[in-house]
Structure 1
Amino acid sequence: MLSVGWLVFAVLVAVLLTTWVTFTATRLDRLHARVDAAQAALEAQLVRRAAALLHVAESPDSGASADSRGRLDAVARAALTPDRDEPTRQANENAVGREIRGLAAVTPPLRADASGELHEAAARVLIARRFYNDAVRDTRALRARRMPRMLRMAGRRAMPDFFDIDDTITADREDRP
């Protein structure tokens, strides 16, 4: 009777351990899918923001001065150029953010539709970056645990990295006191 009890206990432990490993592997897979989806959404919003800046630069009636339109065009085109070098990419995106913040403070102000498009695109980048960094944080936290590391549950997938840019948004002129 004692050996049957140990056998039942061993089977129960094996079932519980298998269930836990399966649950953790499934969760890790879902987190990686969430990172991929959030990265795609972030890429789309970054392109949208750079395209909005390019639209302001190319439009003579946007309200941007003629001498600043050349600089805006260069910055937007640099951000739209596919570059896999992360420091260069982040520097380009930071330059786009600085130009958008700079345009919010120009006198005379940009046309309302151009200003609104830039502000909305910048807000969407801010939200998309937060979603992406949250997904990366959750994935890294699960992958840092002992059992997923020992069992190599992530396989050959690279550890996702945070995307840090300065994406602060300035208030529109109408919102300022």
Structure 2
Amino acid sequence: MLPIGWLVLAVVVAILLTVWVTFTLTRLDRLHARVDAAQAALDAQLVRRAAALSHVAVAAPPDLAPAERTRVEAVAQLALDRGVADQAGERGPGGEREAAENAVGREVAQLAVDEHALGPAVAAELREAATRVLIARRFYNDAVRDTRALRARRMPRLLHLAGHRALPDFFDIDDTIPPSREQDHA
């Protein structure tokens, strides 16, 4: 090959490499934006679920014992406080938010099953909040999985295409949806 041929080949390779890096960088930025949006949606649904649980404690039926009412309110408030701390960037050690959200999930599951004590509207509100958390968590974890997969590839790692952004973490909680009476009889 002539020297000019080598030069043309080098320019073509440089252009292709630049296009690939630009495409990968853009995709990585979009994935990080997707994680941020999914995290905001998940936070909103977690707050909504804790607020629904808090509403049960405040407007509890007479069948709910005062000790149980206090426990439900304390669990909801702890989850709300951990959510505010996480949004402020004060992540607690050992997954304190996950533990608080698991406690909320257990309380919601316990209360939503007993429709006749709470009333069908309140139980349906709790089940709907639990369903929304389940969906939001799945969207968030899918976004985290996709971002981690792209960042784990060799070239994005070698070229440090993610910059100084932290690797997003999965949010794992027990978000089983409490069954309704109609589902039990079906």
Q: TM-score range by the shorter chain?
A: over 0.9
Count of residues paired in the alignment = 177
Match of 1:146 among 148, 154, 163: 154
Which residues of structure 2 form unaligned runs of 5+? 86-90
Aligned to 1:92: 100
Structure 1 segments, 4+ long, off by >4 Å, are: none
Two-structure CA RMSD over aligned residues (Å): 1.6
Instruction: Quickly say closer, same or farther: Cα 1:99–1:60, change in 2 above 3 A.
Output: closer
1:154 and 1:74 map into 2 onto residues whose CA distance is 40
**Contact in 2 for aligned 1:47/1:80 (Cα 8 Å):** yes
Aligned to 1:50: 50
Which residues of structure 1 form unaligned runs of 5+? none
**Contact in 2 for aligned 1:140/1:160 (Cα 8 Å):** yes
Q: Amino acid of the residue matched to residue 34 of structure 1?
A: R
- How far is the alpha carbon of 1:105 from its aligned partner? 3.1
Q: Amino acid of the residue matched to residue 21 of structure 2?
A: V
1:50 and 1:72 map into 2 onto residues whose CA distance is 10
Instruction: Quickly say closer, same or farther: Cα 1:125–1:62, change in 2 above 3 A.
Output: farther
- How far is the alpha carbon of 1:151 from its aligned partner? 0.5
Match of 2:143 among 131, 135, 152: 135
Q: Amino acid of the residue matched to residue 155 of structure 1?
A: G
- How far is the alpha carbon of 1:104 from its aligned partner? 2.7
- TM-score after normalising by structure 1: 0.94
Aligned to 1:104: 112
- How far is the alpha carbon of 1:69 from its aligned partner? 1.1
2:173 and 2:158 map into 1 onto residues whose CA distance is 33
The C-alpha deviation readout for 1:120-177, integer Å capped at 9, x for no partner, is 0000000000000000000000000110011101001000000000001121112212
Aligned to 1:21: 21
**Contact in 2 for aligned 1:63/1:108 (Cα 8 Å):** no
Where 1:176 maps in the other structure, the secondary structure is helix
1:61 and 1:67 map into 2 onto residues whose CA distance is 13
The C-alpha deviation readout for 1:37-58, integer Å capped at 9, x for no partner, is 0000000000000000000110
User: Percent identity at matched positions?
Assistant: 66
**Contact in 1 for aligned 2:113/2:123 (Cα 8 Å):** no
Q: Which moved further from structure 2: 162-171 or 60-69? A: 60-69
**Contact in 1 for aligned 2:49/2:130 (Cα 8 Å):** yes
**Contact in 2 for aligned 1:62/1:110 (Cα 8 Å):** no
